[in-house]
């Protein structure tokens, strides 16, 4: 009986969902099933029945190829370390050169569908190769923990995303996973409001096929569901060059807290924010980041980057605590000093979902020691 209890504990979620995904329980009320094949995995994840799905091995979906027309970039060609672009969504400009036949793994654009009430557990050893996960529109109460996502057509934009939310995904906790080698986005949310927490993950942008031709993956993450509420906490972003993260879209409102994250060795930009994205950016560490934010983000009237101790103290009336100043090292560019007071009012209305910041000078060591599937339970 004791052995059975310990085995059950070893196949359950570590910790409790928090932040904007607070309250998510995943498949806690259902049976625990270990996926034994790729077909079984798709079946177990696709419905809305409460279930804990354990992935304790590598599932490799690569090997079945197709061809399609697309284009290359003159300014950043494949020969110079760039990516190809499948189809015509990114083609047609004067910077493009038509490519009549691009070979790609057909599994990549066809992600595994995920329904509601699921705990998807990699236990620090589960790995999805060549195919990502896609939460169905309206799927809610999902926990994804301890998995590695990798090798989804990394040389080909539109070759697939690693994790995408189709919209209206209420209560999703993505924790202690690793993301690398994607054709397009590591994580993306679409169109309709979702409530998400992305925590303790590693986003490894090291690649030989970069849209920015600098060995850094560009398509890191973007959230443009209208009404998205997203917590980004204690994540490790490194060797990425853009959209790390991209917040909002013209006409799509979102509310974000980015706290305790480490941005490291980045040749491009971290925060890209549209005018309708309200974001509190506090207690993050930037080490060797060329652009902590884009020029567009620097012009935003809805960002609060806690530029100094006075701005940190100003949080107290709305949030019930001081905010944490961000740490930007001398090898990084400048983080724009933004302190839109409306951000504090907006975040104050949901302060029960906000994460307490660490001191920014403690963030780098903490994140390096705790992020990713290998550090689950550390």
Q: What percent of the chain has pLDDT over 70?
A: 97
pLDDT (tens digit per residue) in 253-304: 999 999 999 999 999 999 999 989 999 999 999 999 999 999 999 999 999 9
* Mean pLDDT (whole number) for 243-261: 95
pLDDT of residue 10: 75
Average pLDDT, the chain: 96
Residues in contact with 295: Cβ distance below 8 Å, sequence separation at least 6, in sequence order: none
pLDDT of residue 250: 87
Could you give the C-alpha distances from 128 to 132, 278, 355, in angstroms and in order? 7, 33, 30
Mean pLDDT, residues 104-122 taken together: 98
Give the model confidence (pLDDT) of 312-352 as tens digits.
Answer: 999 999 999 999 999 999 999 999 999 999 999 999 999 99
> What tens digit of pLDDT does each residue of 203-229 get?
999 999 999 999 999 999 999 999 999
Which residue numbers are catalytic? Answer: 243
- Give me the sheet containing 84-86, strands edge to edge: 96-105, 65-73, 84-86, 156-157
Cβ neighbours of residue 10 under 8 Å, at least 6 residues apart? Answer: 123
The answer for residues whose C-beta is within 8 angstroms of residue 43's C-beta and 6 or more apart is none
In terms of pTM, does the model score above 0.85?
yes
Q: How confident is the model at residue 3 (pLDDT cuts 50, 70, 90)?
A: very low
% of the chain at pLDDT higher than 90 = 94
Structure tokens at 377: 């339970």
């Amino acid at each position: 009986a004791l052995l059975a209890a310990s085995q059950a504990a070893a196949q359950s979620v570590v910790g409790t969902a928090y932040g904007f995904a607070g309250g998510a329980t995943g498949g806690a009320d259902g049976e625990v099933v270990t996926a034994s094949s790729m077909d079984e995995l798709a079946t177990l994840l696709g419905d809305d029945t409460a279930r804990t799905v354990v992935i304790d091995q590598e599932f490799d979906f690569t090997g079945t190829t197709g061809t399609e027309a697309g284009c290359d970039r003159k300014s950043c060609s494949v020969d110079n370390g760039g990516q190809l672009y499948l189809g015509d969504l990114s083609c047609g400009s004067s910077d493009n050169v038509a490519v009549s036949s691009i070979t790609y793994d057909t599994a990549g654009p066809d992600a595994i569908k995920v329904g509601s009430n699921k705990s998807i557990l990699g236990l620090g050893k589960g790995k999805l190769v060549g195919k990502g996960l896609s939460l169905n529109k309206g799927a809610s109460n999902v926990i994804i923990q301890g998995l590695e996502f990798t090798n989804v057509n990394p040389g080909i934009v539109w070759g697939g995303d690693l994790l995408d939310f189709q919209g209206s995904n209420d209560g999703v906790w993505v924790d202690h996973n690793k993301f690398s080698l994607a054709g397009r986005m590591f994580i993306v949310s679409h169109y309709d409001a979702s409530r998400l927490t992305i925590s303790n993950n590693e986003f490894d942008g090291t690649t030989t096929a970069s849209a920015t031709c600098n060995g850094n993956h560009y398509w890191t993450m973007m959230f443009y569901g209208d009404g998205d509420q997203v917590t980004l906490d204690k994540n490790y972003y490194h060797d990425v060059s853009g959209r790390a993260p991209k917040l909002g879209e013209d006409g799509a409102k979102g509310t974000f807290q980015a706290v305790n994250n480490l941005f490291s060795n980045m040749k491009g930009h971290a925060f890209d924010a549209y005018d309708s994205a309200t974001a509190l950016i506090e207690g993050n560490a930037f080490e060797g980041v060329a652009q902590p934010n884009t020029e567009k983000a620097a012009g935003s009237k809805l960002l609060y980057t806690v530029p100094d101790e006075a701005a940190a103290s100003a949080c107290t009336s709305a949030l019930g605590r001081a905010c944490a100043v961000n740490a930007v090292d001398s090898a990084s560019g400048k983080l724009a000093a933004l302190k839109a007071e409306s951000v504090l009012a907006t975040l104050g209305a949901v302060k029960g979902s906000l994460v307490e910041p660490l001191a920014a000078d403690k963030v780098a060591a903490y994140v390096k020691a705790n992020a990713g599937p290998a550090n689950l339970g550390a």
